[in-house]
Amino acid sequence: MAKRPKPVQQMTEAQFEAIFPAGDEDACKRYLVARRWPNGVYCPRCGAVKVFPVGSMPFKWQCYACAPDQGYRFSHIAGTIFENTNKPLRQWFKVVHLMLTSKKGISALQIKRHMGFGSYETAWGMCHKIRAALVEPETKLGGIVEVDETFIGGKAINKHGKRSGVAGGAAGKTPIIGAVQRKGNVVTRVLAKVTKESAQSFVREVVSNKVSLLATDQSNVYRSLSGYPHQTVDHHRGEYVVGAVHTNTIEGFWSIFKRGIVGSFHKVSAKYMPLYVAEFQFRYNNRFNADIFGTAIEGC
């Protein structure tokens, strides 16, 4: 049996407090500038590298390339999710840290309680902006890749006022398809409906045709999928592992995601499902990244 990789130590609460001391907003500003512009500040509007710091206003710069007459003045938060906010940067950083260190997610209501915000809407809005910043570009997966779909939502028979009389099945649930590279990254996508066309289109977009193995279950949507070394397991017959062929890795990701939905969020609408999936995908893909916090801030 293969050894499980050692867990990577993320930034602890004590380390966060040491790096960003209470009341030291400038420490957060310096960190953001260093992560956002590691090779030097440039204009977020036109990309010009020749910018001039405003002497009387720290963390502000002037660009004359895109505004020759009076110059374009910008700050460290221009073009980020922190722009036009009335919350200190340290509070934003704290919320990011809480979200990244919670394996199964943390609800906006819990964020409100922990941070002492005056309204649930404030915490909810901050969390969604952070989730949007965590959205990663889709990449081609190689090696051994597993593909599977899942459905999020309660049973239709239990929905008050909307009962269909059907005890189980996918009716009324939000379908999500995912592909994971063994010991690598996962790519997920929320679908309107799981069809042969949508499933196979997803596979061709995110899975390289040079993979050594593409493993799925025996769902009809993957039949006639050509151009891949495709093998399946039949769950209906109690078949879960046949040599290297299994979908246990992607099902493990679905397990974490579903436990988060049930245990932390309780209910997620289809409208915002892509943001929640992006959050769990980011945490999974950066599970071996000791600087996951810095990576998240770069994307903000």
Residue 283 belongs to some domain of the structure: no
Helix (H, G, I), strand (E, B) or coil at 177: strand
Confidence band, pLDDT 50/70/90 cuts, at residue 8: confident
CA 75 to each of CA 19, 31, 53, 88, 286: distance values in angstroms, whole numbers, following the listed order? 22, 14, 10, 14, 29
Dihedral sign (CA 288, 290, 293, 294)? negative
Confidence band, pLDDT 50/70/90 cuts, at residue 153: confident
What letter represents residue 16's amino acid?
A: F
pLDDT of residue 162: 53
Domain total for the chain? Answer: 2
Residue 74 belongs to some domain of the structure: yes
Same domain, 124 and 210: no
Q: What is the pTM of this model?
A: 0.92
pLDDT for residue 2 is more than 90: no
pLDDT for residue 63 is more than 80: yes
As a whole number of angstroms, the distance between CA 144 and CA 2 comes to 16
pLDDT for residue 166 is more than 60: no
Q: Where are the beta strands (DSSP E) in 23-65?
A: 52-53, 60-63
Same domain, 153 and 112: no
Residue 221 belongs to some domain of the structure: yes
pLDDT tens column, 92-115:
999 999 999 999 999 999 999 999
Q: Residue 69 belongs to what domain range?
A: 13-133+295-299
Same domain, 129 and 67: yes
Mean pLDDT confidence for 137-152: 95
Residue 290 belongs to some domain of the structure: no
Mean pLDDT confidence for 3-25: 88
Name the helix (H) or strand (E) containing 152.
strand 144-152
Lowest mean pLDDT among 51-65, 122-136, 162-176, 232-246: 162-176
Mean pLDDT confidence for 76-87: 96
Task: Please say whether the beta carbons of 248 and 230 come within 8 A.
Answer: no
pLDDT tens column, 200-252:
999 999 999 999 999 999 999 999 899 999 999 999 898 999 999 999 999 99
Phi/psi at 5 (5° precision) = -65, 150
Residue 54 belongs to some domain of the structure: yes
Same domain, 23 and 94: yes
Residue 277 belongs to some domain of the structure: no
Helix (H, G, I), strand (E, B) or coil at 207: strand
Work out the angle between the directed axes of helices 292-299 and 89-100 (0-180°, nearest 10). Answer: 130
Phi/psi at 225 (5° precision) = -75, 110
Same domain, 128 and 168: no
pLDDT for residue 5 is more than 80: no
Same domain, 21 and 71: yes
pLDDT of residue 167: 44
Same domain, 67 and 125: yes
Same domain, 156 and 246: yes
pLDDT of residue 9: 82
Residue 280 belongs to some domain of the structure: no
Same domain, 156 and 249: yes
> Nearest to residue 121, comparing CAs of 132, 134, 111, 135?
111
Same domain, 74 and 125: yes
pLDDT for residue 145 is more than 50: yes
Mean pLDDT confidence for 125-144: 96
pLDDT of residue 165: 43
The enclosing domain of 251 has a CATH number of 3.30.420.10
Same domain, 125 and 148: no
Same domain, 204 and 157: yes
pLDDT tens column, 249-300:
999 999 999 999 999 999 999 999 999 999 999 999 999 999 999 999 999 9
Residue 176 belongs to some domain of the structure: yes
pLDDT for residue 182 is more than 60: yes
Mean pLDDT of the chain: 93
Mean pLDDT confidence for 22-37: 97
Mean pLDDT confidence for 16-42: 97
pLDDT for residue 184 is more than 50: yes
